[in-house]
Amino acid sequence: SMMKKLLTLVLITRPNQVLLGMKKRGFGQGRWNGFGGKVEKGETILEAAKRELFEESSLKSDDLKEIGLIDFEFVGDPQILEVHVFTTSKFEGEPTESSEMRPQWFNVKDIPFDTMWPDDHLWFPLFLSGTKFKGYFLFEGHDKILKQTLDKVDSL
Ligand code: 6U4
Ligand code: NA
Ligand code: NA
């Protein structure tokens, strides 16, 4: 709807590690995150996830699996961000810095939550254990969560 914006977020894994990118500009600048962005007219959410992954990291994957769905609301903004979270361990290419993201592998025990969106430490454990989830977070600004829900689900 007019008040929902569709976004993607892709988390690439290899044994005991996750690939994150330092966002160099735009929304979430200065934070480590997965790769993703806005779904454009005429593409599916999955197509958008693959496109943004390639644009931001140079990686290609035909194996993206949706594992999470998170709605973000910001006080004073009627638009909800509906973020579709995907993951895979099957990909081609070498992570390469783009104008938007500087990729780096992190050990799962060493994920830089202090330099990530404040919701991430809440749902990353579900993602890392292969548990599908749905969440809702109400933010005041970009640093403070006022309300939240997070549920494991069987399907998205
Ligand atoms: P463009 O048009 O590419 O300049 P930009 O403003 O940089 O857009 P974009 O498209 O990269 O934003 O999308 C924002 C990304 O941040 C998406 O992958 C979704 C993700 N994101 C937004 N809020 C988040 C949050 N609270 N936690 C999180 N990821 C979030 O982990
Ligand atoms: Na983006
Ligand atoms: Na984008």
pLDDT digits (tens, 9 = 90+) for 122-153: 999 999 999 999 999 999 999 999 999 999 99
pLDDT of residue 85: 98
Average pLDDT over residues 54-77: 97
Complex-level ipTM: 0.93
Query: Two tokens at 24?
Result: 């160099």
Kindly report, residue by residue over 79-113, the tens digit of the pLDDT.
999 999 999 999 999 999 989 999 999 999 999 99
Q: In Å, how far are 1, 18, 20 from 111, measured between CA atoms?
A: 34, 8, 9
Among all bound ligands, the one having the nearest atom to the CA of 10 is 1
- DSSP, residue by residue, 98-142: -SSEEEEEEEGGG--GGGS-TTHHHHHHHHHTT--EEEEEEEETT
Q: In Å, how far are 69, 110, 148 from 100, measured between CA atoms?
A: 23, 23, 28
CA gap 147, 143 in Å, rounded: 13
Mutate to test the pocket of ligand 1, among 4, 7, 127 (most ligand atoms within 8 A of CB): 7
Q: Is 21 in the pocket of ligand 1 (CB under 6 A)?
A: no
Kindly report, residue by residue over 1-46, the tens digit of the pLDDT.
668 999 999 999 999 999 999 999 999 999 999 999 999 999 999 9
Among all bound ligands, the one having the nearest atom to the CA of 123 is 1
Nearest CA to ligand 1 atom 7: 26
Q: Is 118 in the pocket of ligand 1 (CB under 6 A)?
A: no
Query: Cα of 22 to ligand 2 centre, how many Å?
Result: 11
CA gap 111, 7 in Å, rounded: 22
Q: Is 38 in the pocket of ligand 1 (CB under 6 A)?
A: yes
